[in-house]
Amino acid sequence: MTLPVSPLQLGLIVAGVALVVGVMIYNWWLERRVRRRIDTTFRKPVEAVAMAGAGADRVEPTLRGAGEVPDDVIPAYRPPEATSSFAPPMDVIAHDVPPEETAVPVPVTDQTTIVESEGATGRAPDPEIECIVTLQPAKPVGVGAFAAGLHARLGKRLRWFGRTAPDGPWQLLATDSRGEFIELAACLLLADRNGAASRAQLDTFLRVMSELAPHLPAAMSVRDVASEADRAEALDRLCAEVDVQVGMTILVKENGSVAGTRLRGVAEASGFTLASGGKFEYMQEDGGAVLYTLTNLRNEPFTPDSLRLSATNGIVLVLDVPRVTDPPRTFDQMKLTAKRLAHNLGAELVDDNKRPLDDAALASIRKQVEGAAEALRESGIEPGSPRALALFGA
């Protein structure tokens, strides 16, 4: 026997169908709005430096041929085609290149650059070095609504930004961030010193975002994984070309050694602090940034116990060029510190072949440190900037 449908039940059924249809139409409208905003917010004009020679045409770097990149995808980096004139300085610890990359080296010229943007300051998403997914919730949400995504571990740095008003400034989000946000941006770093973001990492990132969006609920912009993986590889090659660390070796004379307790005293008197990574760090007085480090020549980490119980025949001071704001000036400071340490330890400053480093050799290294810093800037990476610290971190 079929029970009659009451007017109330019929009304509820009709209202439910109308609600579902309304949500589908609203989500479609939001998605179109997101795509338009991406075009105006994240797409930056990328112009290459004019090629050398009179009458040369300007080159627009692209990953594929004209018309093959979707409008809602950030243009990828174009692999460079000419050899750079920059040569690493003597006694340099260079960035390791993965074995598969060494077979086909990709040099960098001044035509391969990262566009300067607000994201380079760290205060906003950086579309030049991050894969960005934007979410527009149906109603404003707090950070608790997407806590699972906020703390996702994907093998690369993940940052979240939020806006509290349309076209308002981005706010970097953390667990304790207050307020409700009408737009969110999840940003996965495309490359660091561990290499490029893999296809699997990018797939996982987009899957996490896709699973999170319906729970808010929110309209979502999805990146093309293949093009983002290509961008990550190109960015990693660019960074490998301009990644330079300069080392100065202080060798104890006559095959002698210095006790760890004495070394620690001399190092700390010179301004170094023993860090957890097995090395001493010389910190900037104002901002607390690491200017250069002191490591064991024997490739063994320094610890309180090892310094108390053992000795070493030498130390190495290392300047990480991309991670300091003024590399030449920092080099000058490190040079003076190295000379003072050598004097106090009864040692001498030498090159890789254990030949003394005189002022002429040090001046030559300084010029090449200047060249390394300039190569970074020409690539759109200001030494010591938030962008540089992200790209040249582990």
Q: Encode pLDDT of 214-231 as tens digits.
A: 999 999 998 899 999 999
How many CB atoms within 10 Å of residue 356?
A: 11
Among the ranges given (92-96, 138-142, 265-269), the one the predictor scored with the smallest mean pLDDT? 92-96
What mean pLDDT do residues 244-253 have? 94
Q: Is the pLDDT of residue 326 over 60?
A: yes
Which is more confident, 96 or 189?
Answer: 189
What mean pLDDT do residues 37-51 have? 39
Among the ranges given (116-130, 222-236, 251-265, 296-310), the one the predictor scored with the smallest mean pLDDT? 116-130
The b-or-e profile of 10-44 (16+ CB within 10 A means b, else e) is eeeeeeeeeeeeeeeeebeebeeebeebbeebbeb
Q: Kindly report the pTM of this predicted structure.
A: 0.70
Q: Can you say how many angstroms the Cα of residue 122 is from the centroid of all Cα atoms in its chain? A: 10
Whose structure tokens read 């200001």? 382
Q: Is the pLDDT of residue 116 over 60?
A: no
Partners of residue 187 on adjacent β-strands: 132, 159
Sorting pLDDT into bands at 50, 70 and 90, what band is 48? very low
pLDDT of residue 29: 62
Residues 345, 383: contact at Cβ < 8 Å?
no
pLDDT of residue 122: 80
Q: Is the pLDDT of residue 127 over 60?
A: yes
Nearest to 133 by CA among 56, 221, 60: 221
pLDDT of residue 62: 28
Fold of 243-391: Cell Division Protein Zipa; Chain: A, (3.30.1400)
Structure tokens at 375: 């190569």
Do 106-241 and 243-391 agree at the fold level? yes
Name residue 364's amino acid.
S
Q: Is the pLDDT of residue 99 over 50?
A: no
Sorting pLDDT into bands at 50, 70 and 90, what band is 65? very low
Which is more confident, 30 or 172?
Answer: 172
pLDDT of residue 25: 73
Q: Is the pLDDT of residue 191 over 70?
A: yes
Q: Is the pLDDT of residue 206 over 90?
A: yes
Q: Is the pLDDT of residue 51 over 70?
A: no
Contacts of 106 (CB under 8 A, 6+ apart): 79, 80, 237, 241
pLDDT of residue 32: 61
What mean pLDDT do residues 389-394 have? 91
**Through-space distance between the first and last CA atoms of the chain, rounded to whole angstroms:** 71
What mean pLDDT do residues 239-268 have? 94
pLDDT of residue 182: 96
How many CB atoms within 10 Å of residue 368?
A: 19
Domain assignments of the chain as residue spans, ordered by start: 106-241, 243-391
Among the ranges given (37-41, 117-121, 146-150), the one the predictor scored with the smallest mean pLDDT? 37-41
Residue-averaged pLDDT of the chain: 80
Sorting pLDDT into bands at 50, 70 and 90, what band is 3? low
Q: Is the pLDDT of residue 63 over 90?
A: no
CATH architecture of 106-241: 2-Layer Sandwich (3.30)
> What percentage of the chain reaches a pLDDT higher than 70?
73
Question: For 327-355, what is each residue's pLDDT tens digit?
Answer: 999 999 999 999 999 999 999 999 878 88
Sorting pLDDT into bands at 50, 70 and 90, what band is 33? low
pLDDT of residue 41: 43
Q: How far apart are CA 370 and CA 364, in angstroms?
A: 10
Q: Is the pLDDT of residue 308 over 60?
A: yes
pLDDT of residue 353: 83
